Structure 1
Amino acid sequence: MANVCAVLATTHHPFYYRETELTPPESRRPSSVVWKQKVESYRETLTAARPDVLVMVGADHFHQLFYDNYPTFLIGKAPKYDTTFYNEERHFGMPRFVLEGDESLSGHLHRGLIERDFDFAVSHELKIDHSITCAIVTSRPEADLPVVPIYTNIFAPPLARPARFHALGRAIREIVEEYPGDQRVAIIGTGHLSLEVGGPRQFQETAPDLDFDRRAVQWLADGDIESILREVTPETLRAAGNATDGFLDLILMLGVAGPNKADYADHLELFQTTEAFFTWYPQGDPR
Structure 2
Amino acid sequence: MARINASVYTSHVPAIGAAIDNGRTGEDYWKPLFAGYDYSRQWIAARKPDVILLVYNDHASAFDANFVPTFAIATGEEFQPADEGWGPRPVPPVKGHPRLASHIAQSVIQDDFDLTVINNLDVDHGLTVPLSLMFGQPEAWPCPVIPIAVNVVLYPPPSGSRCYALGKALRRAVESFDEDLNVQIWGTGGMSHQLQGPRAGLINAEFDNDFLDQLVTDPEALSQKPHIDYVRLAGSEGIELVMWLIARGAMNDQVEQKHRFYHVPASNTAVGHLILENH
Q: TM-score over 0.5 for the alignment?
A: yes
Aligned to 1:129: 124
1:245 aligns with: 239
What is the deviation of 1:189?
2.0
Contact 2:40-2:134 within 8 A present in 1 as well: yes
Matches within 5 A, 1:106-125: 106-125=101-120
User: 1:71-86 counterparts in 2 under 5 A?
Assistant: 71-86=69-84
Q: Distance in 1 between the 2:236 and 2:86 partners?
A: 21
The answer for the alignment partner of 1:265 in structure 2 is: 260
Alpha-carbon distance between aligned partners in 2 of 1:48 and 1:281, rounded to the nearest angstrom: 13
Instruction: Map 1:172-251 onto structure 2 (within 5 A).
Output: 172-202=170-200, 204=201, 207-220=202-215, 222-230=216-224, 232-239=225-232, 240-251=234-245
Amino acid paired to 1:181? E
* Structure 1 residue ranges (4+ consecutive) displaced by more than 6 angstroms after TM superposition: none
Q: Distance in 2 between matches of 1:155 and 1:138?
A: 23
Distance 1:233 1:253 in 2: 18
Give the structure with the larger helix fraction: 1
> Cα deviations across residues 124-152 of structure 1 (Å, max 9, x unaligned)?
11111111101111112331311111101
Q: CA deviation at 1:235?
A: 0.8
* 1:45-83 CA distance string (max 9 Å, x none): 322222111111111111121222211111101111101
Whether the 8 Å CA contact 1:20–1:36 is kept in 2: the answer is no
One-letter code aligned to 2:189: G
What is the 5 A alignment of 1:129-148? Answer: 129-141=124-136, 142=138, 143-148=141-146
1:15 counterpart SS class: helix
**Identity within the alignment, %:** 23
TM-score when scaled to structure 2? 0.90
The 8 Å contact of residues 4 and 185 in structure 1, kept in 2 or not, is answered as: yes
Any stretches of 5+ residues in structure 2 without a counterpart?
Answer: none
CA RMSD of aligned residues (A): 2.0
Partner-residue secondary structure (3-state), 1:144: coil
**Number of residue-to-residue matches in the alignment:** 273
- For 2:44, the aligned partner's letter is L
Deviations 1:231-262 (A, max 9, x none): x2111111121111101101212112233342
